[in-house]
């Protein structure tokens, strides 16, 4: 390996600045950027907007995502990479979902609409790569990915009458997708997914504290679209195995399982989250087995 | 008319005859990079797969260079780190499989052993101007294969954030040093 002529490490000026500015538990730590910060932001927003009802969850998830994006990647759109497309779609879906909440669209129509949106979004994100491949390979790789995105967004965007279910499912999907992406060698995709999951967790906590609120499809869609795209992107652009998408696709379904209504809300939330994390944990384990330990 | 054509040929042919074309020998060329890690040390890596052409007009001291590097060939001797470097966090090798350099100006110094190469480097889909300092230019006949060969070293520094590679700043250095050891065989 070559030795630098100066004898100093490359970029030593920057290194000195970094060492001077870093705190022991610095704000640069990924756990802060993708965990604590979006969680706190979502709790604050959800509590503040509690009276707004259906929009509160979606806006809180959007806020959490914005906090992490601003910290980790910035809001620049050039170059328009797949990751930036996902961020753009993740920022755009929340207001659209809020509007749809008040639109006179039945459940079936909403599910079909979100499925189509998920499919179209993944085509836009993955097209530059898939277009370079032969048509057979493009279909073999692309169809499962667009199907996954359409499915996750349709199920998540459907929402439920109980906000506990939607929020716990979104939090689990975020944690599972983020964990799998980290093992799949993309810290960036992992951090973005964990941020959405943390924000959904913040909405869940706010709901447990304040109560009330409608089980909102807007919350599900606001979290579901970026999480679906991040999971699919981690298989296409990083080392997460496509097989991990199978258990991940079950995560949004878990909160629909019957849980005794008589239980305290905190306990119901815990059970729902655990049910959703079961397939999520399988996805993380599968990725670990295929891709190996976290590389950073 | 014939006299005019001969005159034109006499003017043109010597110039084109001095513009020599070389193909980069991947077996004797190295492309390395160096970046600061957390302020503690410099981490080095290399790219294992690349190709390129260099054209030199020795009389004028000018030329051109065109190099293509396979982004996925990044090698830091740690497989998981290499996976990370190929991911959307850094080189985004699936979405942008090639790193390219196309010169806009190549100037050989008076002594013929140093020079500069100005050009446009494309990483992660972003193209930015860079300038390489060239040294130790040496040309001769390779005693093993009897082929006309030229070699040189080159270095440059760039800020990866200017190419949209922002992940890990400032913990992972923004400044990246590129180091080239090139051997090229005359076509």
Q: What was the ipTM of the complex prediction? A: 0.84
Average pLDDT over residues A81-93: 96
CA distance, residue B7 to nearest chain A CA (Å): 50
Percentage of chain A lying above the pLDDT 70 cut = 88
More confident residue, B166 or B6: B166
CB-based contacts of B5: which residues, under 8 Å, 6+ apart?
none
Residue in the structure block whose two tokens are 């279909």: A139
What CA–CA distance (Å, rounded) separates A212 from A51? Answer: 9
* Token digits of residue A70: 């601003």
Q: What is the pLDDT of residue B2?
A: 59
Closest CA to B63 of B29, B18, B5: B18
pLDDT of res. A213 = 67
pLDDT of res. A9: 38
Which pLDDT value is given to residue A1? 44
Under 8 Å CB pairs connecting chains A and B tally to 120
In this prediction, residues B47-63 reach a mean pLDDT of: 92
Per-residue pLDDT at A28: 77
Indicate the pLDDT class of residue A38, thresholds 50, 70 and 90.
very high
- Please state the rounded mean pLDDT for residues A39-49: 93
Distance from the first to the final alpha carbon of chain A: 22
Is 90 exceeded by the pLDDT of residue A79? no
Residue A256 pLDDT level (bands cut at 50, 70, 90)? confident
pLDDT band at A29 (very low <50, low <70, confident <90, very high): confident
Taking the Cβ of residue B187 and every Cβ of chain A, the question of whether any pair is shorter than 8 Å is answered with: no
Cis before residue A79, ω within 30 degrees of 0? Answer: yes
The whole-number average pLDDT for the span B30-53 is: 96
**In the predicted model, is pLDDT for residue B144 greater than 60?**
yes
For residue A261, what pLDDT is reported? 81
A102: pLDDT confidence band, cut at 50, 70 and 90?
A: confident
Distances (CA, A) of A209 to A37, A204, A212, A259, B12: 19, 9, 9, 20, 85
Give the pLDDT band (50/70/90) at residue A215. Answer: low
pLDDT of residue A21: 42
Residue A144 has pLDDT above 50, yes or no: yes
Q: Which of residues 75-94 of A touch B (CB under 8 A)?
A: 76, 78-79, 81-83
Report the greatest alpha carbon distance in chain A: 72
B65 pLDDT more than 70: yes
pTM of the shown model: 0.88
**Sorting pLDDT into bands at 50, 70 and 90, what band is A160?**
confident
Our CA-based measurement puts residue A295 at a distance from the nearest CA of chain B, in whole angstroms, of 5
Residue A58 pLDDT exceeds 70: yes
CB contact under 8 A, A187 and B167: yes
Out of A96-110, A174-188, A190-204, pick the least confident: A96-110
pLDDT in the model for residue A259: 87
As a whole number, the mean pLDDT across chain B is 90
- Average predicted confidence (pLDDT) for chain A: 88
When scoring A2, A3, A178, A242 by the number of chain B Cβ atoms within 10 A, the one with the most, hence best to mutate, is A2
Q: Are B67 and B38 in contact (CB under 8 A)?
A: no
Banded pLDDT at A18 (limits 50, 70, 90): very low
The pLDDT score that the predictor gives to residue A211 is 77
Q: Side-chain half-sphere of B154: how many Cα atoms within 13 Å?
A: 22
Superfamily (CATH H level) for B20-186 = Lipid/polyisoprenoid-binding, YceI-like (2.40.128.110)
Residues in chain A: 296
pLDDT band at A232 (very low <50, low <70, confident <90, very high): very high
Nearby residues of A43 by Cβ (< 8 Å), 6 or more positions away: A60, A202, A203, A205, A206
- Give the mean pLDDT of A74-99: 93
Mutation target vs A (from B39, B123, B162; most A CBs, 10 A cutoff): B39
pLDDT of residue B183: 97
Helix (H) / strand (E) containing B83: helix B79-86
Range of weakest confidence among A17-31, B3-17, B67-81, B160-174: B3-17
A7 has pLDDT over 70: no
A14 has a pLDDT exceeding 60: no
pLDDT of residue A25: 52
Contact check, Cβ <8 Å, B39/A295: no
Q: How confident is the model at residue A39 (pLDDT cuts 50, 70, 90)?
A: very high
Determine the pLDDT at residue A8: 37
Mean pLDDT of the B48-75 span: 94
The position carrying tokens 């809180």 is A60
Reported as type and span, the H/E element at residue B134 is: strand B126-141
Query: What tokens appear for A81 in the block?
Result: 């990479």
- Range in A64-73, A242-251, B28-37, B55-64 with the lowest mean pLDDT: B55-64
Element holding A132 (H helix, E strand): none
**Is the model's pLDDT at B14 over the cut of 60?**
no
Q: Tell whether A291 lies on the interface with B, counting CB pairs under 8 A.
A: yes
pLDDT band, very low/low/confident/very high, at A55 (cuts 50, 70, 90): confident
């Amino acid at each position: 390996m070559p030795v630098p002529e100066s004898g100093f490490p490359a970029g030593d000026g920057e290194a000195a600045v970094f060492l001077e500015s870093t705190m022991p538990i610095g704000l640069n730590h990924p756990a802060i950027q993708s965990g604590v910060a979006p969680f706190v932001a979502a709790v604050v927003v959800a509590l503040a907007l509690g009276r707004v009802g259906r929009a509160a969850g979606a806006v809180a998830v959007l806020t959490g995502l914005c906090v992490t994006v601003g910290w980790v990647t910035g809001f620049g759109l050039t170059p328009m990479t797949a990751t930036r497309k996902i961020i753009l779609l993740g920022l755009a879906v929340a207001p659209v979902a809020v509007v749809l909440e008040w639109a006179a669209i039945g459940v079936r129509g909403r599910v079909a609409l979100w499925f189509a949106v998920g499919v179209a979004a993944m085509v836009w994100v993955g097209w530059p790569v898939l277009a370079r491949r032969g048509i057979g390979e493009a279909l073999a790789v692309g169809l499962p990915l667009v199907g996954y995105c359409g499915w996750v967004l349709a199920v998540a965007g459907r929402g439920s009458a109980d906000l506990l279910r939607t929020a716990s499912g979104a939090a689990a999907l975020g944690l599972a997708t983020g964990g799998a992406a980290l093992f799949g060698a993309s810290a960036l995709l992992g951090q973005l997914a964990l941020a959405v999951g943390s924000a959904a967790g913040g909405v869940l906590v706010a709901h447990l504290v304040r109560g009330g609120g409608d089980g909102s499809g807007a919350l599900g869609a606001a979290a579901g679209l970026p999480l679906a795209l991040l999971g699919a992107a981690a298989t296409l652009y990083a080392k997460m195995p496509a097989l991990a998408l199978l258990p991940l696709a079950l995560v949004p379904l878990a909160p629909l399982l019957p849980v005794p209504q008589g239980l305290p809300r905190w306990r119901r939330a815990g059970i729902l989250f655990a049910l959703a994390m079961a397939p999520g944990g399988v996805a993380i384990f599968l990725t670990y087995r295929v891709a190996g330990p976290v590389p950073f | 008319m014939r006299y005019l054509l001969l005159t034109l040929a006499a003017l043109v042919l010597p110039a084109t005859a001095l513009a020599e074309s070389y193909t980069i020998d991947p077996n004797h060329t190295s492309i390395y990079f160096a970046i600061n890690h957390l302020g503690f040390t410099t981490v080095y890596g290399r790219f294992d797969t690349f190709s390129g052409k260099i054209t030199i007009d020795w009389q004028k001291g000018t030329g051109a260079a065109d190099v293509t590097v396979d982004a996925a060939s990044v090698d830091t001797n740690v497989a998981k780190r290499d996976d990370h470097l190929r991911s959307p966090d850094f080189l985004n090798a699936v979405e942008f499989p090639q790193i390219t350099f196309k010169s806009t100006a190549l100037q050989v110094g008076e002594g013929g052993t140093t020079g500069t190469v100005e050009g446009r480097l494309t990483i992660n889909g972003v193209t930015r101007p860079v300038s390489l300092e060239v040294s130790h230019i040496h040309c001769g006949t390779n005693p093993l294969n009897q082929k006309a060969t030229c070699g040189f070293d080159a270095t440059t520094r760039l800020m990866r954030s200017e190419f949209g590679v922002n992940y890990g700043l400032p913990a992972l250095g923004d400044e990246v040093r590129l180091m080239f050891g090139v051997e090229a065989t005359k076509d």
